[in-house]
Amino acid sequence: MPVSDIAVQDAPAANLTERVVNDFSIRVATVNGSGSQTANLVLLRSIFRMGIPVSGKNLFPSNIAGLPTWFTIRASKDGYVARRATIDLLVAMNPETAREDVLSLEPDAVVVYDEPLKLDELRDDLTFYPVPFDKLVAGILRDAKLRRLVRNMIYDGVLANLLQIDRQQMDAALEKQLGSKPRAMALNRSALDVGYDYAAEHLEKRDPLVLEPMDKTDGLILVEGNAAAAVGAMMAGVTVVTWYPITPSSSLCETLIDYLQKYRLDPETGKATFAVVQAEDEIAALGMALGAGWAGARSMTSTSGPGVSLMGEFSGLGYYAEVPAVIFDIQRVGPSTGLPTRTAQGDVLTTAFLSHGDTRHLMLFPASVEECYGMAIEAFDLAERFQTPVFVMSDLDLGMNTWMSKAFEYPKKPLDRGKVLDRETLDRIGRFGRYRDVDGDGIPYRSIPGDDMPAFFCRGSGHNEWAQYSERPDDYKANVDRLARKFETARNWLPEPVVEINRKASIGIVAYGTTHWAIVESRDQLLAEADLQTSYYRVCAYPFRDALESFIERYDRVYVVEQNRDAQMLSLMKLDVRPELANRLRSVLHYSGDPIDARTVTDSILIQEGYRVEKAGAQTIRLPHTSGVGGE
């Protein structure tokens, strides 16, 4: 295998006369609670409205106000939306982090900063633009409290001038953000003007970064994954929502409540076709969702890792007593409280087997906001079809960050309420046995309290197919074997993987969820930098389809890329695929709390494939799954 460094050296330093158009990252460093979110979203939306593909990632602390926060906007003419590790333009507004923020930049980066911070003294290989924010804001406003809030909008004005952002689009983006508040609107618009005019008069353009209009965002929307999932849940006809606040999932239920109040009140009576309850904890939240699912509602809850842990016992009850419910897990960094405001894919193994005994759960893995919407709808159908809890495994990066997407399509399929007993079915099957496998697919029929069909006693203790209490070994075994059969039925019913087979490929890549976006970019990098052709299998659900084995069979080495330390998805695959195939699986792992970036993936694969030698001193943790540097 070739060992070459040439292909992977960074491109030569940008020639200042050469413009960098629509392909760079902006990082805004501010203080949490300073109102920077409005300014950042206006900036993001302005670029989006110029037709330039864009993504925004908020790196924020677990804090209400006072701690540092960073917002990264990536403009990418090629449509890459994964996090980019390199920052090209820094807006340094936070005195506490400014020094470190500047020192961590690559050479030739650009810095817009608050003049009194005197950051230009720190380095001589960067382009600095000082802006006297306090002086400028004082010119607009007397009220010191309000000054603090509109001060940030000034940097939007400065960047509009420096980067040639369409002012009309920026005004429109501002209107979108603050439209309903005319006074705030007026103040912020003057802040934009002040920033723009200051830059026009005092800052001489000395950097290559430019934004130019494109047509790549026509018809697209900008939305967070949690909001997308909320729209999906509403369109799925959710009727009972029970939840307990936890970052990063709270915004899912909060957005859902807003939408439900707008679109799900009976037009004639004004009464609600839904119930939302903020429970006393996650245990109660899932208990309520299961009680509601048992009684025939489309029920859901939303949580994150610590909540998932608390839901363990009830999840097992849902599995064994066969009660539908949808659980959104917006994953964050663990273990324990971990990093509550940082992203991870760390709940995969826990959730697959959540609870004691032989328990297995259905999981869906949305990678995009569009899939958050679609899989939310699908999850409710699956929960009722398979009469079991269904976990939608999103993460903080997807749930709380802003993503471009095609507009969501109206659902094509009617609601699937699954095998609910009715008179006709009862006549056909004769006697009703709640846990009887009438159709041979492991899925029994169920009756619902109040529906006038024969009742049954639902319980988490041992039961036979007539739902009678039983401790008989044969009853127990027959029941859990049927549950396994039901799981097998689900295997080919769940969303299909997205597979791209490249006939010239020498390796395979497997990923899921938000890791997808780094893979899209990394595959291009692998091709460009090392002429390494790849095929790609994106897991969309658990249990895995048989197609996973056929994919692994094609390649000697298959890289499973994920955002956790212990190669959780790979471990799950090893349990499922034939042993000789399991040996082909290798890991690319990213678990710092930042969303994964393409460079991490590319570098790791190139090293493991032997194209490149691992950097001296680089820390590597050897886990059983992590294969060493190959091909040397």
Partner 1 sequence: MASVTPSNPRIKVNRIGLDSKQYRGTKTTLCAGCGHNAISERIIGACYEMGVDPGRVVKLSGIGCSSKSPAYFLGSAHGFNAVHGRMPSVGTGALLANHKLIAIGVSGDGDTGAIGIGQFVHLMRRNLPIIYIIEDNGCYGLTKGQFSPTADLGSTLKTGVVNDLPPIDTCALAVELGATFVARSFSGDKKQLTAILKAALSHRGTAMLDVLSPCVTFNDHEGSTKSYSHVKEHDDPLEEISFVPFFEDISVDYEPGTTQAVPLHDGSTLYLKKLEEEYDALDKVRALQVLNETRRRGEFATGIIYVEPDRDDFLTMLNLVDEPLAALPQKRVRPPRGALKEIMKSLR
Residues 229-248 that bind partner 1 (CB under 8 A): 231, 234-240, 242
Residues between 283 and 302 with contacts to partner 1, criterion CB under 8 A:
283-299
For 598, the token pair is 């393409």
**Residue 614: other Cβ atoms inside 10 A:** 14
Q: Tell me the per-residue interface mask from 119 to 158 with partner 1, x by CB under 8 A, - otherwise.
A: ----------------------------------------
Residues 6+ apart with CB under 8 A from 631: 1, 3, 609, 610, 611
CB of 253 to partner 1, least distance (A): 15
Among 124, 72, 118, which residue's Cα sits nearest to residue 99? 118
Nearer to partner 1, 228 or 348 (CB): 228
Nearer to partner 1, 102 or 229 (CB): 229
Among 7, 214, 275, 527, binds partner 1 (CB under 8 A): 275
Among 60, 198, 243, 274, binds partner 1 (CB under 8 A): 274
Nearer to partner 1, 121 or 218 (CB): 218
Q: How far apart are CA 500 and CA 523, in angstroms?
A: 11
Q: How far apart are CA 176 and CA 487, in angstroms?
A: 46
Residues 6+ apart with CB under 8 A from 335: none
Q: Does 591 bind partner 1 (CB under 8 A)?
A: no
CB of 424 to partner 1, least distance (A): 18
Stretch that binds partner 1, among 157-165, 208-216, 346-354, 461-469 (CB under 8 A): 461-469
Residues between 299 and 318 with contacts to partner 1, criterion CB under 8 A:
299, 313-314, 317
Q: Does 183 bind partner 1 (CB under 8 A)?
A: no
Nearer to partner 1, 446 or 523 (CB): 446
Q: Does 54 bind partner 1 (CB under 8 A)?
A: no
Given a contact cutoff of 8 angstroms between Cβ atoms, the answer to whether 373 and 408 are in contact is: yes
Residue 13's φ and ψ, nearest 5 degrees, are -50, 140
Nearer to partner 1, 415 or 478 (CB): 415
Q: Does 411 bind partner 1 (CB under 8 A)?
A: yes
Nearer to partner 1, 67 or 221 (CB): 221
Q: Does 261 bind partner 1 (CB under 8 A)?
A: no
CB of 178 to partner 1, least distance (A): 14
Q: Does 214 bind partner 1 (CB under 8 A)?
A: no
Q: How far apart are CA 320 and CA 421, in angstroms?
A: 19
Among 555, 537, 567, which residue's Cα sits nearest to residue 627? 567
Nearer to partner 1, 309 or 506 (CB): 309
Nearer to partner 1, 1 or 272 (CB): 272
Q: How far apart are CA 212 and CA 196, in angstroms?
A: 17
Stretch that binds partner 1, among 131-139, 384-392, 450-458, 539-547 (CB under 8 A): 450-458
DSSP H or E run through 68: strand 68-76
Given a contact cutoff of 8 angstroms between Cβ atoms, the answer to whether 113 and 131 are in contact is: yes
Nearer to partner 1, 296 or 543 (CB): 296
Residues between 345 and 404 with contacts to partner 1, criterion CB under 8 A:
none
User: What are the DSSP E strand ranges found in 83-168?
Assistant: 89-92, 110-114, 127-131
CB of 415 to partner 1, least distance (A): 5
Nearer to partner 1, 256 or 577 (CB): 256
Q: How far apart are CA 397 and CA 415, in angstroms?
A: 29
Q: How far apart are CA 357 and CA 477, in angstroms?
A: 13
Q: What is the DSSP letter of 10?
A: P
Q: How far apart are CA 305 and CA 394, in angstroms?
A: 11
CB of 297 to partner 1, least distance (A): 4
CB of 274 to partner 1, least distance (A): 7
Q: Is 558 left (phi over 0), alpha (psi -120 to 50) or beta?
A: beta
Nearer to partner 1, 329 or 370 (CB): 370
**Parallel, antiparallel, or unpaired for β 541-542 and 362-364?**
antiparallel
Q: What is the DSSP letter of 503?
A: T
Among 273, 337, 492, 620, binds partner 1 (CB under 8 A): 273
Among 278, 289, 287, which residue's Cα sits nearest to residue 250? 278
Given a contact cutoff of 8 angstroms between Cβ atoms, the answer to whether 158 and 131 are in contact is: yes
Amino acid letter for position 51: G
Among 266, 427, 474, 580, binds partner 1 (CB under 8 A): 266
Stretch that binds partner 1, among 218-226, 491-499, 552-560, 614-622 (CB under 8 A): 218-226
Among 198, 328, 391, 456, binds partner 1 (CB under 8 A): 456
Q: How far apart are CA 537 and CA 587, in angstroms?
A: 14
Stretch that binds partner 1, among 136-144, 145-153, 188-196, 408-416 (CB under 8 A): 408-416
